[in-house]
Amino acid sequence: MQSKKEWVKIGREKLQRIIEMCKSVEERSLDPFLINVEEIIGIVKEYFPEWENPEDLCLDAETIQHLASVIKLQSEWVKYRSTSLYTDPFLLEEKLTRIEKEEIVDAFLKAWHPIVEMEQISLHSLAEATRYWESLLPLKERWKGFPPAEVETSLATREELIRQRILREKAFSEELENFWQELKVKVGEKGKIHYWNFVGAETYEETVHRAFLTSFLVTYGYATLEIHPLEEEIFIKPNEKPITKIGKKQLVSIPITVSLEDWTKWKRGELK
Amino acid sequence: MSKRKGYYASKIKRAVHMLFYRRHKKTGVKGWELRKVLGSDYPKVLKILDDYLKALDLQVKTIFEEEKAFEKPSLENFDSARFYITLRGDLAPKEAKMIGWRIDDLAGLAITIAYIISKKGKVPRKEVEELLRDKLPGWKVGLNIDRYIRYGYLTQDENEQLYLDWRTRAEVDQKALIELLLSK
């Protein structure tokens, strides 16, 4: 006759084994029907009255959670098998090893409709590029008076990122220069641009990167921020030349949130 | 030219510029981008453009989010969809060579895509490597899979599981591919 302690220990081991089994089905895309749900529910039920401490109850909950995932996979499997796309993988595998590669290519070409895209320079872009080149100062002039960094204490400074080899100094300077030029072009004759219209990009990651670069543009005096607190609007104004210190004004840090939620709103055109 | 015709002609031109020239790292244009430039009637503009492209054997391809198919898509569905210009018909083997694909690489891609479809859209990389190694030299197999990933045909997660990616969804008629392979 087993003691209660031993019985509980065996129960724990069984639940852990079930969790591992479910995980391997979830992660390695094995056939979810390898798991006998009814049998597992029986085991979980059998040991449930024995659980007294929170760890054991958590283990029980975790088992149920993984079992639920497997049931979901089973349901998806059934749905998929009932679609016209379902093909027996063994049948297809056998077919793929048997037919010649010319035949495979022939079949693929009938189902393949490649994307058409062009890379071509236009007269307009050439003229734009020439104007940019003319306004571009030689490197030695652009980089001679690079101001010492006046960065507020924060979680990660540029220097820290360079030290950690996340950024390279030269690439960053070039990137910042290009970004400044981009700001000037986008602003045009209006003199300023809405913050989100400048930092906003196709992906959220790109947007965060642009916001990061914009913060350096402002810190290094390549641009200034114009804030309308009542309207809750922020504009960026590029400077003609980098300004190291703005008069005797005290430098302040302005936190601007670039959250995923704001970015989604901006993409939908809902952000002012 | 009537005023209405002129209105659409200029919008079609803008649409062609946006769709044919790459605007971002990833090919294609999102619906909301088209709406910003062409206005809210952009699905109609794209429909006219698609009719026009028929004669050139090209088409405007719409890929809705999460590969959903809608009978009557709403403007919201269109806004979150991605649009491409693709070939309407199919290529001859010689033409495929002209666009930079070797027959081995293309066959490898076809097998990989078909195999992933047959395994419900997810398969361990090792399994695909084994399958390809049967007909391709070992040193080439890994390189080829990496190339398919780079081009956007496949994607790989941290557990080395391969999935179909955006380019396959945009370019390959998956149902037709399976049917054609099984009929060989």
Torsion sign over Cα A27, A29, A35, A41: positive
Per-residue pLDDT, A133: 81
Query: Which segments in chain B show pLDDT lower than 50?
Result: none
User: What is the chain B residue with the closest CA to A107?
Assistant: B180
> What's the gap in Å between the CA of A25 and the closest CA on chain B?
12
Contact B134/A at CB under 8 A: yes
> For chain A, which residues make up each domain, given as ranges?
4-83, 153-267
- Point out which residues pair with A235 in neighbouring strands: A194, A226
pLDDT value at residue B98: 67
B94-182: CATH architecture? Orthogonal Bundle (1.10)
Nearest to A101 among B27, B135, B159 (CB): B135
CATH match of B3-89 with 1.25.40? no
3-state secondary structure of B154: strand
- Residues 6+ away with beta carbon under 8 Å from B71: none
Cβ-Cβ contacts under 8 Å, A113 against chain B: 59, 61, 86-90, 171-173
- Give the count of Cβ contacts less than 8 A between chain A and B: 152
DSSP lists the bridge partners of residue B84 as B61
Chain B residues 22-81 with CB within 8 Å of chain A: 22, 24-28, 30, 32, 36, 58-59, 61, 79
Phi/psi class of residue B43: alpha, beta or left (left: φ > 0; alpha: ψ in -120 to 50)? Answer: alpha
Fold of A153-267: Arc Repressor Mutant, subunit A (1.10.10)
Q: Which of B21, B61, B103 comes nearest A118 by C-beta?
A: B21
ipTM: 0.80
Nearest-neighbour CA in chain B from A66: distance (Å): 18
* pLDDT at residue number B36: 93
> CA A191 to CA A174: how far, in whole Å?
23
Nearest CA in chain A to B80: A268
Mean per-residue pLDDT pooled into runs of 10, chain A (272 residues):
79 90 79 85 90 89 91 81 66 80 88 83 74 79 66 69 66 81 87 89 88 88 83 85 62 78 82 66
Which of A192, A128, A209, A11 minimizes the C-alpha distance to A19? A11
Instruction: Give residue A171's pLDDT.
Output: 66
Q: What is the pTM of this model?
A: 0.53
